[in-house]
Structure formats: C-alpha cells, structure tokens
Chains A and B, each alone.
Chain A
Amino acid sequence: MRFLTYLLIGTFFGFVMTKSEAISWYRILEMFRFESFHMYGIIGTAVVLGAIGVALAKRFGLTAFDGQALKLNPKQFSVPRYLYGGILFGLGWALTGACPGPMFTLLGQGIWLIGLVILSATAGTFTYGVLRNKLPH
C-alpha cells in the first residue's frame, strides 16, 4: 500500500516533467542561453511556493502523516563540495539536457539512449564513491 503511494507520486512527477517540458533537451539549452522564461518560471514558481509552504509548516509545527518531524535535513555548511560538485553537475546537465529525474521519465518515452546516460551517471556516482576521500568537501 505504501509502495503504491510512492509509485503514484512518482507517476505524477513523470507526468508533470513531461507536460512541463522540463525533460526536453531543447528547453534546457534555451534556459542556459537565456532565450525563454519558461524553465525559470517553473523552477521559480516551485521554489517560491515551496519556501512559503515550508515556512508555514515550520511556523505551525506540521508533521508527516505519522507524526514524525518533516524531513528537512539541513545540509552541513561548506563551499567546495557544493561549488565544485555543482559545476560538474551543471556541465553534464547542459550536455545531456537531462537531470536525474527527467532521465527516468525519458526512458518511459522510448528514448533508449537515455538508458546509457543513466548507466553512465551511475558509473559517475560510483567513481565519486571511490575517490571521495581524495576530494575537497
């Protein structure tokens, strides 16, 4: 039953990613070339609503369905890992036109080569895990 819930939320997410066109390689190119407001509008709306909702949830002490605190794990502050990791991620995002969520969504649309992107991304994550102690964090 719980798994059905996650499956349904994920299905909704894949649907939204498609109809928002955030899965489109073209939309990502257009965003980074500053030639349309579309992607900025999507992310901006989500963040503004998200920030208002999170602030209200904290203000009124809302919890998850089971009474546990909301999972808003603060990240430990530092600069290098977020900046360097972020830059590498951005290089890849602009190249493939897909961040991890859209990769899976595109797979459902018969874009088979995206399967190789997912495998390669998994290899990238594995390589990070191997080199982790040698990288600045």
Chain B
Amino acid sequence: MIEWISEPWHWSVSGVAIAAVMFMLLYAGKEFGVSSNLRTMCTIAGAGRKYEFFRIDWRAQRWNLTFIAGSVLGGFLAFFVFPSSEPVTISAETVNYLQSLGLSAPGEGDFHSSYVPAEIFAVDQLFTLRTLVVVILGGFLVGFGARWAGGCTSGHAISGLSNLQLPSLIAVIGFFIGGLFMSWFLLPFILQL
C-alpha cells in the first residue's frame, strides 16, 4: 500500500482523485478554485484601502487559504515522507528536446527534485536572466491572467468545464493559445538566455 501510493500514479487514478477533490469541496459548500487566494492575499496586505476590487471579506476566504496550506503540506508529505523511487518519466522526444537546449532531463544531475529543472529552479540560479524571466514574468502572467479570466486551471478547466460553462471553455482555449505560443515560439529563446 505504502509503495503503491508513493510511486507515480496512472493518469486515470490522478484524474479520479482531482474530480474527488472538486466534489469534496462542493459537498462542503465551497467551490474549487486556487487562484482566488492570490486576491485574498492582496486584500490581507491592505490592497482594499485604495482599490475597490480588493474590498472583500477575506475571512470568508479563510477556508481556501487553509486549503492551500494543506496543499503545501501534501507536497511535503508526497515528496519527503512518501517519495517515489523513480524520477519523472517524460517522453523520449521531450528528453531529446531538453538536451538540444542544454537542460537536464528529470533525475539528471544532483538537484534534490526531478520535478523541475535545476537550471531554472535551483536557488543558485536566482540571478541568471533565464530564471528571473521564468520566475518574475511567468509568475506575473499567471496571477494577472488568472484574475482577468476569472479563474485558473482548477476554477475553469476542472470546475467550469465540469459544469459545462461556455466562459470556461473560452478560458481554457485561451490557456492553450498562450501555452502553445510560449512553448513553441518564446520558450526556446528564453531557455537559452
């Protein structure tokens, strides 16, 4: 059992588990949506004093902040307490592509995680142009775009599509237009910075 939950899960098991998270929150009277927490954090930091968008009752969002605190804990448990014995197994084509850019594939090198490349996410990369672009620009786009679109992957791709909402379908199409453009046209340059 311990071994079974520690090793990477089949995509179908993971999909069932994510749907289960959504239904548990619905049953609890809440809505699955992670990016709302970023707005709540702005409100807590005092953004509501000047900007109307942040004038919300953050106490009503405490459940969601607790939820993401749990997701930090879940990441810790899954990584340190129940670690998988194998690095992330991505396709051979993707490995070849990474090598052509001079980036390490999952599990190569001595970085403590095989989930993300050391060349971007190791702390000693902080002041490289590549990492700054990924971290600062990438993070900013996620936060700005999610709020403009009214939700992220959890709110639109999972909750919204499950409820057959047309706005969520438009948002998900947008996610893919942006994601494909980044991956195919911009990322090859950014990763070589």
Question: Could you say which residues of chain A place their CB within 8 Å of the CB of B136?
Answer: 116, 120
The proximity string for A residues 111-133 relative to B, scoring 1 for CB distances below 8 Å and 0 otherwise, is 11110111111111111111010
Given the interface pairs A99-B152, A109-B115, the reply to whether A65 lies near B174 with Cβ below 8 Å is no
Q: Which residue in chain A gives the minimum CB-CB distance to B175?
A: A90
B137 within 8 A of A: yes
CA gap between A37 and B106 in the complex, in Å: 18
Question: Could you say which residues of chain B place their CB within 8 Å of the CB of A75?
Answer: 150-151, 160, 165, 167-168
Question: Could you say which residues of chain B place their CB within 8 Å of the CB of A64?
Answer: 26-29
Number of chain B residues close to chain A: CB under 8 A: 130
Number of chain A residues close to chain B: CB under 8 A: 114
CA gap between A8 and B75 in the complex, in Å: 12
Given the interface pairs A50-B161, A91-B178, A95-B190, the reply to whether A6 lies near B38 with Cβ below 8 Å is no
Question: Could you say which residues of chain B place their CB within 8 Å of the CB of A114?
Answer: 121
Q: Which residue in chain B gives the minimum CB-CB distance to A39?
A: B11
Q: Which residue in chain B gives the minimum CB-CB distance to A98?
A: B142
Task: Tell me which of A14, A45, A77 contacts B14 (CB under 8 A).
Answer: A45
- Majority-rule SS of A interface residues: helix
Assess whether B174 is in contact with A124, with CB atoms less than 8 Å apart: no
Assess whether A36 is in contact with B157, with CB atoms less than 8 Å apart: no
Given the interface pairs A21-B115, A90-B176, A91-B179, the reply to whether A104 lies near B123 with Cβ below 8 Å is no
Assess whether A19 is in contact with B70, with CB atoms less than 8 Å apart: no
A61 within 8 A of B: no
Shortest CB-to-CB span from A35 to chain B, Å, is: 4
Assess whether A17 is in contact with B71, with CB atoms less than 8 Å apart: yes
Given the interface pairs A74-B165, A101-B154, the reply to whether A84 lies near B148 with Cβ below 8 Å is yes
- Return 30 A-B CB contacts under 8 Å, by A number: A3-B63, A5-B28, A10-B74, A12-B74, A16-B9, A19-B6, A19-B7, A19-B14, A26-B90, A32-B176, A32-B183, A49-B19, A50-B22, A72-B31, A75-B151, A85-B148, A88-B178, A90-B181, A92-B140, A93-B182, A94-B187, A95-B187, A100-B38, A100-B142, A101-B154, A113-B126, A114-B121, A120-B136, A124-B142, A129-B147
Interface residues of B (CB under 8 A from A): 5-9, 11-12, 14-31, 34-35, 37-39, 41-42, 47, 51, 53-54, 62-64, 66-80, 82, 84, 88, 90-91, 93-94, 97-98, 105-106, 112-113, 115-117, 120-123, 125-126, 131, 133-154, 156-168, 170-184, 186-187, 190
